[in-house]
Amino acid sequence: LDDLHLHLHHHNSIHFLPILPVVLHFISRLDLVIVPASNVQIIKPHHHPAKIDNLHKSHHPQSQQHCRHLPLRAFLMPSLFTNPNNEESQCLTPEINQSRRYSFSRDKSVVSGLLSDSDAAGARNNGMGPSSSSSVSLVGAAPGNINSEYGSYQQDATGEKKSIYGMIESEQADYEQFDHRSLPRKGLDKLLKRKRYFARKVFLDGTTLPHKSFPKNVVRNQKYSFIFFLPQVLWEQFKYFFNLYFLIVALSQFFPPLQVGYLFTYVAPLVFVLSITITKEAIDDLKRWRRDVKANSQRYTRLTVDGSERVPSSKISVGDLIVIEADERVPADCILMRTTEKSGASFIRTDQLDGETDWKLRRAVKLTQELPSNHSLFDIHAAVFAERPHKAIYDFIGKLTKYDAAGQDVEHIESLSLEQTLWANTVVASGTVVGLVIYTGKETRAVLNASSPRSKMGKLDQELNNLSKILFALMFLLSLLLVACKKFQGSWLITLFRFTLLFSSIIPISMRVNLDMGKTAYSFFIMRDKKIPGTVVRNSSIPEELGRIDYLFSDKTGTLTQNDMIFRKLNLGSSYFELTEHDESTLKELREITEEAFAQEEGQIDTATKHIRDMLLSLALCHNVTPSSSSADDAVKEYQASSPDEIALVKFAESVGLVLEDRTMNNITLKTPQGNLLVFDVLIMFPFTSESKRMGIVVRERDHPENIFYFIKGADTMMSKLVKPSDWLDEECDNLAREGLRTLVFGSKRMSTEIFEEFKMEYETAKSKVVDRSQHIEETRLRWEKGLDLLGVTGVEDKLQEDVQGSLENLKNAGIKLWMLTGDKVETGICIARSARLISRNQPMYKLIVDDETQLLEQLTEYAGQNDDYLALVIDGNTLNMCIQKPFQKLFMKEVVKSACVVCCRCSPTQKAQIVKLVKKYTKKQTAAIGDGGNDVNMINSADVGLGIVGKEGKQASMASDFSITQFKHCTRLILWHGRNSYKRSARLSQFIFHRGVIISIIQAVFSAIYFFAAIPVFTGMLLVGYSTFYTMIPVFSLILDEDVKDDIVFTYPELYKDLQKGRALNFRTFMTWIWKAVFQGGIMMLLAIALFEQKIIRIQSITFSALIMTELLMVCLEVSRFKIWMLLSVVLSMVIYIASIFLLPEYFDFTFVFSFDFWWKTVVLVLACNIPIYFFSFIIKTLNPPNWKKLTRGNHGPMKERIMRWIRGRL
């Protein structure tokens, strides 16, 4: 008993049971109630199953056992139901009502008495089935025209309907979106973790259709569960090859034939690394759990029939009526039913949902807002249809249906849109609201749009993985070589595995921990940099990728510009006005014109003045701005809006004397220069969308009800198709764009009351659609917006951000290719690019703007023939869309990546992301993207490094980025300085760690080779564990403090960044250089220790290990570019720890020998023999071919060192 019921009563007048399977096949998609003719009843969708059962019992209490309840899914063919006892067969006549329930009776008089006018009206747009040829007899309805709230239709004298009507069809469309899955299908979906979302009908008494359990309203951001925490963390670690390799190495020591040392030696490093990872994950997940508990335990007032009760957020369910106070978080997705605000609308803050800081206006459902109290909601029979849950936070389709007191007939239907929604995690900013919960838990917009933290793997990490694979191959070949030298004697496979275990230090298990700690330190340095205040590192895994950027993609508005709009120009066709900062004469002239336009009644002014009056009214009325008084001074107006463009227009109207005094859900009040108040009733409002590219509002002047205005403003590309032909519009828009101004075209239409009512009826019909509502509304608007009167064109200036020119110049000199991706006109884009010095004054420019593919091929061929890397390319959105398609994509990308800079205009958010992905695909180089708005998020996520600016459009781009900054100029320091340091430090750190692992493995290899290729460890126990931790970790890790040059040199010579782009700090050549260093040092160290000094194993071990530790510490001192006090302290501390361990670990050292003069001079000889040749050759190479940064800092070395270097160069 879900929501469809077939009641078959065993009655003599119905003899069709033998063909019941055939009937069910045809009617399996229809909601029916079939009862005896004398007991026709209408079963509404909101009736409970129990109510339906009681209804049936009241009619036939004696035959309840014969009642069957079957779900049906198609339309009934009336000809199947006939009375065999009658000579003339009669079809059962359907009673039609707006709830799409049908009662069939053979007695037409009964149906005639039950069929009300509203039922007949509700039959609009419905046939007996999907076919429009099906006919329905409307008994009792008079022939001719039938008018209803939902439209009109024709009916002839026989009662046959001539067209299809939409209300029942709409209800059927609602029903089709419900969950009709069978139990096995539901089980299969759950088993396969397939997410299915369905629509629902929510009644104000808390019941729902379908009758099912919806997700619990629980916030859960935990990554792990308490029970499976450890298995999940271990799986995340061991699914990678190298971690699994170390696990196998550790486990192998439990088998005696494979043991090559103490079990602790191999288990301890793995446990240490895993302990750090598990602890970090546990702390992070504990913080998430605490946040979840706080959110789930927040208490709200839930309205009930008996009063109200306080419940935690986790106990809220679909159908609940929740009271939410001001500044409280919305706990679930709701429909705004009522608000305490007199205007019937409340503001909400959505910065935690979409990142936008401006308040959003939400309007209560008109029907429920007019009720006397909150508890009056339980006195009406009403239901809300909500579409299936989806991710689109700016889109919602639903409707509220009100039934009569008996719950039988539909009295009122009100369409619902985004304006009536309260999404979870938003905050009520004004008033106290009552919301009807429609989605909870996993079905809320916030959760559907939530994603797990992005995991970006940097290019450096990929290179290190590849180098680690080379080391793994080296380790295996070295093991195989030693086994081969032993001529594969005995159990050579076990010996091979034992050698592999002995050389496992070649693959550094501590690499990942050291690099992660280093990245955390780099992130800390970035956020503590006082020269870029407000910078936040949101992804600490890729700071070194800032040091290798090849392409930077930038938004324009709010990124290169301030997004601080200033009204500059107004063109009315017959007159032209330009406002400047220092000239008040134009503004004074406009004030006089405005005063004259509003000094008299509209009918008493001339045509020109009337035109100006309409333009000023459109500026002051066609927007979504809400005024508020400043707390400091009530005379000072502050404005809230989702776009700074609108505020600039309203402020201009205010500056000329037409002030936006007040705004509510239903009216807008303006104050004229004379101090009079003009009140306009808002009849219909069409908000701006990126698809429609325009905004419209229909208003009626309260003092003159005959004056109904339809004001529209929008982009010139759209408005030029709607306004009457003009010989100056296109030229003026191009002129304003060339000056870098943002253009808006204004149009209007005056309507009579009759025309408006006709327009409203069409609009309401389109708005009542559940399927493709936006498309129906757009089609309706286009029909009525043709032939608008052109009022004027405005030009608004968006100032450049501070020091944008210098920042772009530095980035270009650093070898970074810059792309500007904007939605503005081509002329505007070129103007901003030149003023920002993205395109230099004398730089050649090529425009790639075509209309068809033939022209595109010609232009691409011509562009390819330019052969000029200094060339700047300008392309528009339509051409770009053709270029990125398959036939032209390869040719386009091959040529466009060569351009010094590219300006893409009329570019959509999707195109921004596509072009970033294509550049990554075809160049294999590092990309970065920077933006400030929600439309830049896709571009930011597509790039290797995402930079977000906290701007006036909100925090959405900032929250989605890897690095959040407050101004564009900060990205220069972030990339050229912090990117350089992070990359070079990580490269040097990883090379030292590779060196540290290889050198000890070479010592082991030489030792085994000398001692008859025995798989015996030279260092065991705490020596092996302490080597990569206590003794060398701190000095090696101190390399994260190293700086090769000072920051002033980096910004004076940004060309230094080009060396980083080539990846010379860490490549195969530098990797092999460090490997050869380790091979040389490890081989010399062990050979000299055995051949020249001692024969006792413990003494060889002591000398070699001491020389090894000192060599690593000395290498740190020799390789750093700029020695700092913390580096020196780390070296001293490590040496102190090593000396202390000699006393603490007597089993590894011959105490008497270690503190003898013989031990120390031999150790020093080993250290010098290992390091002097390395340093000498390194010094020679750097002297003959110094790096670029060395050339620039040569004068900083001091006169003595400079003279020595000149002497060496002269002799060589």
> Annotated catalytic sites, by residue?
555
Q: In this structure, what token pair is assigned to residue 737?
A: 């764009």
Listed residue (931, 906, 929, 907) closest to 916, CA to CA: 929
Please check whether residue 934 is in contact with residue 956, taking contact to mean a CB–CB distance below 8 angstroms: yes
Radius of gyration of the chain (CA): 39
Q: In this structure, what token pair is assigned to residue 59?
A: 């009619």
State how far the Cα of 375 lies from the Cα of 175, in Å rounded to an integer: 29
Nearest 5°: phi and psi at 839? Answer: -110, 120
Question: What are the b/e assignments for 225-255, b being 16+ CB within 10 Å?
Answer: eeeebeeebeeebbeeebbebbbebbebbee
Please check whether residue 93 is in contact with residue 70, taking contact to mean a CB–CB distance below 8 angstroms: no
Instruction: State the CB neighbour count (10 A cutoff) for residue 144.
Output: 9
State how far the Cα of 46 lies from the Cα of 211, in Å rounded to an integer: 10
Please check whether residue 742 is in contact with residue 828, taking contact to mean a CB–CB distance below 8 angstroms: yes
Please check whether residue 741 is in contact with residue 731, taking contact to mean a CB–CB distance below 8 angstroms: no
CB-side neighbour CA atoms (13 Å) of 499? 29
Nearest 5°: phi and psi at 608? Answer: -65, -45
**DSSP structure string for 802-836:** TTHHHHHHHHHHTT-EEEEE-SS-HHHHHHHHHHT
Three-state DSSP at 705 gives coil
State how far the Cα of 691 lies from the Cα of 689, in Å rounded to an integer: 5
Please check whether residue 957 is in contact with residue 515, taking contact to mean a CB–CB distance below 8 angstroms: no
Q: In this structure, what token pair is assigned to residue 556?
A: 């324009």
Nearest 5°: phi and psi at 1187? Answer: -65, 160
State how far the Cα of 199 lies from the Cα of 388, in Å rounded to an integer: 4
Contacts 24+ apart (CB under 8 A), 322-325: 322/434, 322/435, 322/437, 323/374, 323/432, 323/433, 323/434, 324/300, 324/422, 324/428, 324/432, 324/433, 324/434, 324/435, 325/428, 325/432
Listed residue (334, 324, 361) closest to 345, CA to CA: 361
State how far the Cα of 669 lies from the Cα of 1053, in Å rounded to an integer: 59
Q: In this structure, what token pair is assigned to residue 1007?
A: 């030792």
Please check whether residue 75 is in contact with residue 132, taking contact to mean a CB–CB distance below 8 angstroms: no
State how far the Cα of 735 lies from the Cα of 743, in Å rounded to an integer: 10
DSSP E strand boundaries for 909-1054:
927-931, 945-949, 963-965
State how far the Cα of 893 lies from the Cα of 895, in Å rounded to an integer: 5
347: enclosing H helix or E strand: strand 345-349
Alpha helices in 797-955 (DSSP H): 804-813, 826-835, 853-864, 877-883, 886-896, 909-923, 937-942
DSSP state of 1093: I
Instruction: State the CB neighbour count (10 A cutoff) for residue 674.
Output: 9
The structure tokens 């639903």 sit at 398
Question: What are the b/e assignments for 429-446, b being 16+ CB within 10 Å?
Answer: bbbbbbbbbbbbbbbbbb
